[in-house]
Structure 1
């Protein structure tokens, strides 16, 4: 108990926990729309495609400043998203195939460039690998401020375009008939998802970022059919997972923060899938068994000698 109290007062823990909670909240909100639009894999593709942007930004500017590297990742992620949208729109290639193609090309290019940078005769390139697996312990106050600014901007856009996003997510044809442009809404929402992914790379890395985007939304979807409830619950679950995962990594020696956060939200997902009323597996089995019993009772009544 004393160890937990001391941990809560530690400045480093407060910084990392706040950053992880902000990431979980932002990912939960934007991930809800990605899941409902059946574009859950977009987070995986964009996060992997951001790697070459990080390395190219370092090669061109020779700086490991987080803002510069994340700007390079943002440009690379936006380019990959535009490539995916263009391929799907102007060819017969399906979304999942286009995403896999672009993701593999960008991620392969990123690994090649990273290998090249590591062979340079200086040590300034050390630390770039943290964008692959994440390293939440390196978060600084300025990183939290950047995440807060970007998160506030993204949440403000969600509130501002709530009606449009809701119509576009569930019925794009109806939204188009009302005068809304599905192409522009798709580009805006995709840009917001990309930005949410980029700001989380330093915390969980390109490999686990897709889990942060999708898992809270899928878990929240099991508990409700209302969009605003799902978005709110997804943001809450993401924030709680970020804080709890950070605490677990601080209390358990050599436990990395990013994987701990993902394991935490995955545990919440398993509980939701099993026990959620209506959609939960156990609830469905119970309802099916109850209906089977009622059917047998009703079917046996005409043959009952008492009748």
Structure 2
């Protein structure tokens, strides 16, 4: 099913660097690169390359037995920091279908554009992106409002298009919208197996709907609606379930909080009766623990599910989201 790009010898002689990429794609060692093996050697299955775990999960769940999925971001690698090597670039060029989320990984966005694979799907185009910053869903009044407006939190970085938040997979409803779009695009890319893709998409959307219901019911009645996280990954989730996200840094986990932001978080924690500061599995917990100790708060994990490792509280997206729900229920005092 995969159609290899053939390059004349004369072209190779004049384009050495591209020739090296093509040769590396055919090397035996390339089969070990990526979680699912090298694309283009799929035994008749659709060769799918996913940019990082949330895209990989969709491709595997919807594609089922008809796809061979590899991922550019290996388990344990923080996806925002990913830089692509020669083999990964070749992997992209050999794909039948690429699924990525624009705005999360700049190096991946650039490489995918250069690969020029016809069946390339940007998950961000399958739903509506919104702008989120360090806090979502709450107005602390004049006491904090001037600080928010005046400095936009020093060191905060924005991702996505024009400052939009790309963390759509943490909202089960938006993730289900994306799943429907991915299913439709796989049907178009591989019409012989369209019925299977439709069936798998329906099953996945049902699981995500059940997850959405669990979050609605679990967080409907809580002692506080405010939670503090390492970085601002949970804006969509907070908005969906009537919560307030306050992040130590901004949309990027590499951002360093300003002293003013640390002071502000201390005040917010006291005002909103926040008892827990959440940290992540793929990012250092040093800053979160410092903020927690400074304010006499507990720490716990709220996983943005950018990758699954042995430290993850669950084997896949749905399991980790259920763990996140349990952590939020405990931290917010669910009744």
Q: Which structure has more strand as a fraction of its residues? A: 2
**Relative contact order, higher structure (CA 8 A, sep 6+):** 1
TM-score computed with the length of structure 2 as normaliser: 0.23
TM-score computed with the length of structure 1 as normaliser: 0.24
Q: Which structure has more helix as a fraction of its residues? A: 1
Bigger Rg, structure 1 or 2: 1
